[in-house]
Structure 1
Amino acid sequence: MAALSTGALVVFALVAATLTLFVTEWLPPDITAIAVLVSLAVLEPYTGVPAREAIAGFASPAVVTIVAMYILSAGIEEAGVVDWLGARLAALTGGDERRLLAAIVGTTGVGAGFVNNTPIVAVFIPLVTGLSERYGISPSKFLLPLSFAAMLGGTLTLVGTATNLLASDISRDLLNEPFSMFTLTPVGIVILLVGVGYLLTVGRVLVPERIRPFADFTEEFDMDRHLAQLTVRESSPLVGLTVAEALDSDGVDAVVAADDGEVALADGEPTEPEPIDVDVLQIDRDGESFFATATDRPLEPGDVLTVRGSTQAVNQFGERYGLRQLPRESVTEELLAESGHSGVLAEAVVHGESRLRGRTLGDVDLRSRFDVTVLAIRRGDTVIREAFAGVELAAGDTLLLQTPVDEIAHLEEEGYLVLTEGPPELFDVIHGEGSAPPPRLSPRALLPLGILVAVIALAAVGVVPIYIAALGGVVAMVATGSIPASRAYDAVSWNVVFLLAGLLPLGAAMQATGGAAFVGGLLAEVAVVVPPLVLLALFYLLTAVLASLITPVATVVLMAPIAVATAQDVGVDGTPFLLVVTFAVATAFLTPVGYQTNLMVYGPGGYRFTDYARVGAPLQLLLCVVTTVAVAFVWPL
């Protein structure tokens, strides 16, 4: 076994610190990766990574290819291909649950092998929730299989997921042979077929029904005790004021007397009241409804205010401002969404790259900036319905919003949220469509499809490397008008790019200091009592569990050098071990935090954290056997 050097100890300490930061999220993962890069360069005498090599990851073929594939995927999305495909599935399945599930996982799985799976899942979530509502099926039955199918499809080709490209770079450095476009395909097809078969049979039974069919938003988020209606009395100090004059971003704060500028209670005594956590959503007057944040009409006696707030807050609100609470009847989605004004209810998810992630709602102030009011936040099986201002948003949080129709597109374009459910007119605004016909595939959509096919073909036959072919495809997309240049830059998830580039030198340091050889030697001792095939399976399980706890990118950077070193110590080819690690990081099903698409369906499906292990653990064990045997068959040990 290789001796443990001082440099290896330093690198292990950096690895431990990195894993801690990934798990605790004290820093965003991409910033953690940059901190790793800086640390490796500063500690060069111990890590063996000079400054120039530390930043070489930004020019690595994997990172360049990933940047290009983000843009190519955006070009396909801009052409409306995914929207058209979703509409076709809706028409062909006719509402049958089994056929619809088969269509969703089959289409998503194949598509994710060639196009970035994040936009595919983002488009399919509202499609699935809409079909679920139409046919009376819980969306929970479809959304988790949707995410799992996207992950399974990522194993089909080199460009299926970012970790495939990263593993190819590592294979080039350690084994002098990068992956070709279809190196992974023989085993990837087996994984996809077995995984889809599981999702359509055993998985279909295990996936829980967390959201009831036909449940409206107010039922789904259990808002019954947090929505109420009050009538404005003749004596109320709110009479003559607009909602904007009476409210600030934290709710009702003060009512300013017209004559002396002091704050007045209903009895006229000046004081400084504490803010009340209440939002006014809607004003009803003489059979007409007004969207509270958008109207400048002064309040009048007899106006009915629909508000969000706890029972205690609503009672305090009514007493302070001279309002009479109406009998506590249920305020339904129908009352809020079909009132004739511009405000509608919608559900949206904070995705992994959202500008809201790590910020509080008080800081963002969506109500005053966008006229968007947050009614509830669902985080796993917990629903937060009050005291939003101090809540720090996390990836996977699902927000129930009251929003103007014309603002939701801006929130998506600016990277705040991904809309997952709402009335059809919201999606018409986002996709720039009218309200009538289903999306159609225009002849112009064939151009970006042809460009993508050409990129894959050129890389597959070896005419040019994949990163050159992909960059050429980007040029063709922009030159032909398939995607504007500004949209191309916006399509790239730059935090993923920095994450990849920052972590790549960590693998080099593991190799240079002998750390990978040391760990490989320890694991090679297991081969004394178990055959190499079992050791291969153990690597799959260890990698899959680690990828479910931290990012798949970090896992492949750490585990790939160890896998190759272990194979060398055992005296077998390192390729099967590297490939098992590659497949394992692409199929981390055990938690919602292991993969971005898992987080995207977490809230809309109403899932609990343990639901992922409930459905994913049997699939993970099944694929452990299937992947290990398939890899050993294609690449004999």
Structure 2
Amino acid sequence: MMVVFAVILLALLLFVTEPVPIDITAIALVVVLVVLEPWTTITPADGLSGFASSATITVLAMFILSEGVRRTGVVKQLGDRVVDWTKDSPLKQLGAVVGISGGSAGFVNNTPVVAVMIPMAISIAKQTNSSPSKLLMPISFASMMGGTLTLIGTSTNILASDVWDRVGGPATEPFSMFEFTAVGLIVLAVGSLYLLTVGRYLTPERIKPELELTAEFELADYLTEVVVREESPLVGRTIQESLQTLAVDVDIVHLVRDGETFGEPLARKELREGDILLVRTDRETLLELIDTEGVDLLPQTTHHDADFETDADGTLIEAVVLPGTNLIGETLASLNFRGRYDATVLAIRRGNAVIRQRMDHTPLRGGDTLLLETTGETADRLIRNRAFVVAQDPDWTSYRRSKTPVALGIVAGVVAVAAVGWLPIVVSALAGVVAMVVSGCLKPTEIYDAVDWNVIFLLAGVIPLGIAMEQTGAAEWLAALVVAGSADFAPLVVLGVFYLLTSLLTNLVSNNASVVLLIPVAFDVATAIGANAFSFVLAVTFAASTAFITPVGYQTNLMVYGPGGYRFSDFFRVGAPLQLLLAVVTTLSIGWLYGV
């Protein structure tokens, strides 16, 4: 038990601090548990069982099904109607985005739901002269609560079902599709009411209405025009060569020659005398550039978004770096970002902080919002890139609108077949994946990019940890401590304590890790005090799906962190009352519907 507890503490520390990606930590966890088999009891077969788990395979399939629905643009169609319906009412806007994100997250994974809702919310805000900050955090929170409606709403529910089936032995079986929908509806209704009332006033307006992107990212002091002199050493060099030889923090955003403006790609453009360059740099570096590189400063002008609409289809866009992608920890320099994506990064927004200097060597984090000067063609490629969420509405041509009924029909079929018990959910979901490809909703090459692989490896890594807790008696020992400390409390109070404990752990580490660690303990505690074990397992499951207090507690919180310009403390201000409210509501609802 002591060895297992030591491994758990080490794993939690790595999950919180993330010195390496969590999928690498998960693989290392499997290795450590197997190497320490004499103490952990985890054989190689046990260690690899997470990769063959029905929960892991089901989650993988659900990512692909969600991508099939996303590519039809069905959520964007709803968004366009929302704009028409809610133009005159901020409350209607909020109610619409909360309803769409909460309702759809019960059947489509909440990560792609939020990915589609971000540009929708920004579009609504721009068209109605409101702040996107007032919409984005509620979208994330609603998608989490919506995930509690069905078994397939989140990976947490699917994993909890698998763990419940294992710890309960022959007396239990996996959750059915709508096993806890009644509680989920209560949670979503109460939580939505909070977001539309108290939460509406607590949610800050960090990004002001009517701001252009150049003003929003405060670029006025960092964009300057210079003209190349005849004797400049830059003459005859390409822009790529020039940037490599400059030992200062500067970017050439676009080039004006004979009245024609050129944007990305600029790397191979050869500089000539009289070329006008729009550069991104600070004043100190600009003076050094004038002294050493033979350029003259042009009169200072105010730059607007329209200035970046170059003759080569130039445009300004915001792109959010998604958590768990291969961009995390890399820098713009190590990625060769400009060369790889044909885009110039003008600024990085991290929460409410804007980084405009020494960006090339700033490691990227999940939720970072990049302000890019690029072309429409590159913007379309970034929209299709699973590492980003582009915060501008894409063109309809990027969606397969004709496949909307087919994709929705496939998901409905998967749900129906599993709900009536004709096939296990894992088989039904895999059949749905095949149908998505055969029907043309997804191309075969797109299914691998649709999967959030760090979640898959995390599931595969933590499942053996739960087995080790059960087989070494660690879960039973922890349960005995809880029972001894709660002897004077009613089972309903103990149930509420488990909810709060799980929600606290989830806000610090992974929701899936919380489920694996606490469901065995909850099961043993309920058994020891003669309570309903299913109710205790449900409390842990619901708490693990609702992490509102920090932006790092849940992936969707990080996704809206940058686009909303939020501060870290904003999530606590809005999320803590909601967390406490749902602790009471969920506990009482489970006790009322399932007994304690």
Q: Deviations over 1:435-477 (max 9, x none)?
A: xxxx8953x4212211111111111111111111111112222
In structure 2, give the amino acid aligned to 1:12: F
Q: Give the 3-state SS of the residue equivalent to 2:565 in structure 1.
A: coil
AA of the residue aligned to 1:384: I
Q: Does 1:490 align with 2:453?
A: no
Superposed CA deviations along residues 159-178 of structure 1, whole A, max 9, x for unmatched, are: 00000000001111122221
User: 1 CA distance for matches of 2:555 and 2:286?
Assistant: 38
Within 1, Cα distance between the matches of 2:452 and 2:270? 45
SS in 1 for 2:391: strand
Pick one of 106, 112, 117 that aligns with 1:124.
117
Secondary structure of 2:188's aligned partner: helix
Q: Distance in 1 between matches of 2:163 and 2:349?
A: 39
* CA offset digits 1:305-352 (Å, max 9, x no partner): 11001111111111111222123333232322x343332211111111
Q: Distance in 2 between matches of 1:456 and 1:390?
A: 47
- Matches of 2:231 and 2:434 in 1, distance apart? 67
Tell me how large the CA RMSD over aligned residues is.
1.7
Q: Residues 400 and 441 of structure 2 are in contact (CA less than 8 Å); yes or no, is this contact kept in structure 1?
A: no
Indicate if the aligned counterparts of 1:589 and 1:617 stay in contact, CA closer than 8 A: yes
3-state DSSP of counterpart to 1:407:
helix
The AA in structure 2 aligned to 1:471 is L
Match of 1:547 in 2: 506
Name the amino acid aligned to 1:47: T
Asked if 1:71 is matched to 2:36, the reply is: no
3-state SS of 2:377 partner: coil
2:490 to 517, 520, 531: 531
Quote the Cα distance in structure 2 between the aligned partners of 1:297 and 1:602. Answer: 37
Equivalent residue letter for 1:488: I
Distance (Å, rounded) in 1 between the aligned partners of 2:189 and 2:256: 55
1:588 is paired with a residue whose SS is coil
How many angstroms apart in 1 are the aligned matches of 2:267 and 2:250? Answer: 18
Alpha-carbon distance in 1 for matches of 2:429, 2:267: 50
Match of 1:222 in 2: 218
**Structure 1, 167-176 or 487-496: larger mean CA deviation:** 487-496
Measured after TM superposition, the shift of residue 548 of structure 1 is: 0.7
Q: Number of aligned residue pairs: give it.
A: 593
Name the amino acid aligned to 2:583: C
The secondary structure found in structure 2 opposite 1:225 is: coil
- Which residue of 2 is the match for residue 594 of structure 1? 553
Provide the rounded CA distance (Å) in 1 between the counterparts of 2:136 and 2:560: 6
The corresponding residue for 1:239 is 235
Offset of residue 354 of structure 1? 2.1
The one-letter code sitting in structure 2 at the alignment partner of 1:511 is E
Counterpart Cα distance in 2 of 1:23 and 1:583: 21
- Give, in whole Å, the separation in 2 of the partners of 1:161 and 1:521: 30
Residue 296 of structure 2 is aligned to residue 324 of structure 1 = yes
TM-score, structure 2 normalization: 0.96
AA at the equivalent of 2:361: G
1:290 to 262, 266, 270: 262
**2:462 matches 1:503:** yes
| CA-CA distance at 1:607 after TM superposition | 0.3
**In structure 2, which of residues 417, 421, 424 is the aligned counterpart of residue 458 of structure 1?**
417
How far apart are the structure 2 equivalents of 1:243 and 1:302?
15
1:190 aligns with 2:149: no
Residue 360 of structure 2 aligns to a residue whose secondary structure is coil
Bigger mean CA deviation after superposition, 117-126 or 102-111: 117-126
Q: Is the 8 A contact 2:164 2:173 kept in 1?
A: yes
By how many angstroms is 1:367 displaced? Answer: 1.2
Following the alignment from structure 1 to structure 2, what is the Cα–Cα distance between the partners of residues 605 and 147?
A: 11
Spell out the pairing of 1:542-621 with structure 2 (5 A cutoff).
Answer: 542-621=501-580
Q: In 1, distance between residues paired with 2:89 and 2:376?
A: 31
Q: 1:432 aligns with which of 380, 397, 400?
A: 397
40, 60, 78: which one aligns with 2:53: 60
Amino acid at match of 1:247: L
1:385 equivalent to 2:356? Answer yes
Structure 1 stretch 59-68 or stretch 79-88: which is displaced more? Answer: 79-88
Query: In 2, distance between residues paired with 1:160 and 1:631?
Result: 18
CA distance in 2, matches of 1:450, 1:292: 41
Distance 2:569 2:263 in 1: 39
Residue identity over aligned pairs, in percent, reads 48
Deviates more, 1:567-576 or 1:192-201: 567-576
Q: Report SS of the residue matched to 2:64.
A: helix
Query: Which amino acid is the alignment partner of residue 11 of structure 1?
Result: V
- SS in structure 2 opposite 1:306? strand
Q: CA contact under 8 A between 1:11 and 1:47: conserved in structure 2?
A: yes
Give the alignment partner of residue 157 of structure 2, picking from 164, 170, 183.
Answer: 164
Which residue of structure 2 aligns with residue 271 of structure 1?
none
* 1:375 aligned to which of 346, 355, 365: 346
Q: Distance in 2 between matches of 1:42 and 1:300?
A: 64
Could you tell me which of 457, 470, 475 is aligned with 1:516? 475
Q: Map of 1:10-21 to 2, 5 A cutoff?
A: 10-21=3-14
Q: Is the 8 A contact 2:264 2:373 kept in 1?
A: no
Single out whichever of 199-208 and 565-574 deviates more from structure 2.
565-574
* Contact 2:386 2:449 (8 Å CA) reproduced: no
Tell me if the contact between 1:282 and 1:291 (Cα under 8 Å) persists in the aligned partners: yes
Aligned 8 A contact 2:68 2:436 in 1 = yes
Given residue 388 of structure 1, which amino acid in structure 2 is its aligned partner? M
Question: Which segment is superposed worse, 138-147 or 170-179?
Answer: 170-179
The whole-number CA distance in structure 2 between the counterparts of 1:38 and 1:342 is: 51
Q: What does the per-residue CA deviation read over 1:414-447, in whole Å, with 9 as the maximum and x for residues that have no partner?
A: 43322113xx6xx22xx535xxxxx8953x4212
Deviations 1:93-115 (A, max 9, x none): 23421111101000110100001
Alignment-mate amino acid for residue 23 of structure 1: V
What secondary structure, in the 3-state scheme, does the structure 2 residue paired with 1:18 have? helix
Do the aligned partners of residues 603 and 624 (structure 1) sit closer, same or farther apart at CA in structure 2, a change above 3 Å counting? same
Contact kept in structure 2, 1:357 and 1:395, CA below 8 Å: yes
Tell me the CA shift for residue 155 of structure 1: 0.3
Inter-partner Cα distance in structure 1 for 2:263 and 2:69: 37
Q: How does 1:326-345 map to 2 (within 5 A)?
A: 326-336=298-308, 338-345=309-316
Is the counterpart of residue 203 in structure 1 residue 168 in structure 2? no
CA contact (8 A) 1:380 1:603 kept: yes
Distance of 1:343 and 1:71 partners within structure 2: 33
**Cα distance in 1 for residues equivalent to 2:37 and 2:405:** 50
AA in 2 matched with 1:223? L
Deviation at 1:244, TM superposition (A): 3.2
Letter in 2 for 1:400: L
d(CA) in 2 for partners of 1:368 and 1:473? 38
* Structure 2 residue aligned with 1:41: 34
Task: Tell me how far apart the structure 2 counterparts of residues 527 and 290 of structure 1 sit (CA, whole Å).
Answer: 70
Of residues 299-308 and 223-232 in structure 1, the stretch that sits farther from structure 2 once superposed is 299-308
| Amino acid paired to 1:462 | G
| Cα shift at 1:296 | 5.3
SS of 2:221's equivalent? helix
Pairwise CA distance, 1:379 = 1.5
CA-to-partner distance for each residue in 1:162-219, whole Å, 9 max, x for gaps? Answer: 0000000111112222110001101000000001101110110000000010111121
The residue aligned with 2:253 is: 281
Unaligned runs of 5+ in 2: none
2:402 is the counterpart of 1:420: no
Whether 1:402 aligns to 2:370 is no
Letter aligned with residue 389 of structure 1 = D
- Which residue of 270, 276, 280 corresponds with 1:304? 276
* Letter matched to residue 375 of structure 1: L
**CA-to-aligned-CA distance 1:32-64 (integer Å, 9 cap, x gap):** 111111111121221122111211111211111
User: How far does residue 85 in structure 1 lie from its aligned partner after superposition?
Assistant: 1.9
Counterpart of 2:391, as a letter, is T
2:264/2:375 contact within 8 Å kept: no
Contact 1:590–1:616 under 8 Å retained in 2: yes
1:387 Cα deviation after fit: 1.0
